[in-house]
Amino acid sequence: MAHITVSVEYGLHCLLWLAESDGKPLSSRDLADLQGISHSFLAKIFPKLEKAGIVHATGGVRGGYLLARAPEDISVLQIVDAIEGRKPLFDCQEIRGRCAIFGDPPPDWATGGVCSIHLVMLRAEKAMRDALASQSLADIGQMVANKAPPHFSSDVEGWITARLGGRLGKSSTSSPGEEVCS
């Protein structure tokens, strides 16, 4: 978790929409269009989420992605790790042993045990991972619901219904998660 990128932000937003989709699969293209983000960029995120068991793909004209688990069973940490991979926050270079006044090899007191700077970073990483693990997709969804006006949910539902309805009558040779284009 060296740096949490925009991929995590995009993924979280998309998963929030899937949580509110009432079991209707949404393609990565639908989700990108709904939010005004890059189709191709988003299409790279969903295979990672699928591999982690956070979403699953359905095929066909009305195919797309669905959450694989209930939103309350998906932690933010699971999403971050799925998208970014589990990388350390800090990569200690063991500079402490390179001091110009040390001989070769450096003294044991200088290099023994965990580097003090690395220890601070390990504690920070643990605190961050614990905080992310304690929050679920449902928690974020509730925060959004508390902020949004009452009509927002029905406006989104209308957009999704119109979007999915526009697929009727089109033949499909698309992959799961991709909208059929004519």
The amino acid present at 96, given as its one-letter code, is R
pLDDT tens-place string over residues 12-35: 999 999 998 888 899 999 999 999
- On whether the pTM is more than 0.85, the answer is no
pLDDT tens-place string over residues 34-92: 999 999 999 999 999 999 999 999 987 778 999 999 999 999 999 999 999 988 888 89
Query: Does residue 173 fall inside a structural domain?
Result: no
Query: Does residue 178 fall inside a structural domain?
Result: no
pLDDT recorded at residue 59 = 86
Number of domains in the chain: 1
Query: Does residue 1 fall inside a structural domain?
Result: no
pLDDT recorded at residue 66 = 96
Q: Which residues contact 61 (CB under 8 A, 6 or more apart)?
A: 167, 168, 170, 171, 172, 180
Query: Does residue 182 fall inside a structural domain?
Result: no
Report d(CA 128, CA 86) in Å as an integer: 13
Residue 32: which domain range? 6-165
Span 127-152, mean pLDDT? Answer: 95
Where are the extended beta strands (E) located within 52-182?
A: 55-58, 64-67
13, exposed or middle or buried, with CB in 10 Å at 0-12, 13-18, 19+?
A: middle
Query: Does residue 84 fall inside a structural domain?
Result: yes
Query: Does residue 94 fall inside a structural domain?
Result: yes
Report d(CA 164, CA 156) in Å as an integer: 12
Query: Does residue 102 fall inside a structural domain?
Result: yes
Kindly tell me the number of DSSP H helices and DSSP E strands found in the chain: 8, 2
Query: Does residue 170 fall inside a structural domain?
Result: no
CATH number, domain containing residue 102: 1.10.10.10
Report d(CA 73, CA 137) in Å as an integer: 8
pLDDT tens-place string over residues 106-115: 999 999 999 9
